[in-house]
Amino acid sequence: METKAENACFGGTQGVYSHRSEVCACDMTFGLFLPVEAKDGPVPLLWFLSGLTCTHENAMTKAGAQSHAAAHGIGLVFPDTSPRGEDVADDDDFAMGQGAGFYVNATEAPWKANFRMWDYVTGELPALLGEHFAVDLSRQSITGHSMGGHGALTIAMHMPETYRAVSAFAPMANTTDSDWGRPQLRAYLGDDAEAHARHDASRLVAERGFPGPMLIDQGTSDQFLDKLKPEALATAIATRRQEATFRMQPGYDHSYFFVSTFIEDHVDFHADALWS
């Protein structure tokens, strides 16, 4: 593992690190904020999964989460959104290929050689963090924005024993019935409808739910509402009677101005679960 940068940040350290990923068969980069408490022992960990076209850097520099995490003594990890490199498959469509991993394990060529973001985020990277940093992997929680919100919700519902709570900002909520989901899942996973359904947050809420708390924020002026389909997720939550807070925030769009406005609420929400 290589240290790319480490900066003092709200009494702790914001680092950027790269390593060779066996899962993705390429070099991967991630950001990790550790509060001052990490000097004395392992701290709980909140994952932030980013959206289309983003890298590890977007949320790390724009969301403003570190000050709130520092106040609660919890760490933040910002993974990349896909494998990258000259030998990694890509596409001219910004919603496919590099920057658009959709947090799945691809089974179709040319994507299956590298695009295994599910295993990377849920297995390889946590193990690496536990080996090299003062993080408590028995206390994890997960959030994300847009494609990352989709990833956070689907991962948490498949792995409820790992995450204390889940939240999302403007998640891709119904991928099997959206232009942000249908084409990508078909390209990555083939024509297996059951495989697609495993990566649809609304269908997973309806079928299995999540045993812990859930928080969703969605802007009413989001320019991508027709693709995100928040109404499908809200309906699934109500039908299952899932423990959840679903907020439509008037006037907010899809940008990091929206995320940064409500990030304190989300960090507070996760801190309550991580320290309970």
Active-site positions read: 146, 222, 254
State the CB neighbour count (10 A cutoff) for residue 178.
22
Residue 121 is classified by DSSP as I
Nearest to 222 by CA among 196, 259, 187, 190: 259
Helix, strand and coil percent figures for the chain, each rounded to 5? 40, 25, 35
CB 274 within 8 A of CB 74: yes
The Cα 128–Cα 94 span in angstroms is 29
Q: CA–CA distance from 168 to each of 37, 123, 213, 215 (Å)?
A: 26, 21, 12, 7
Residue 158 is classified by DSSP as H
Three-class secondary structure of residue 152 per DSSP: helix
The Cα 121–Cα 129 span in angstroms is 11
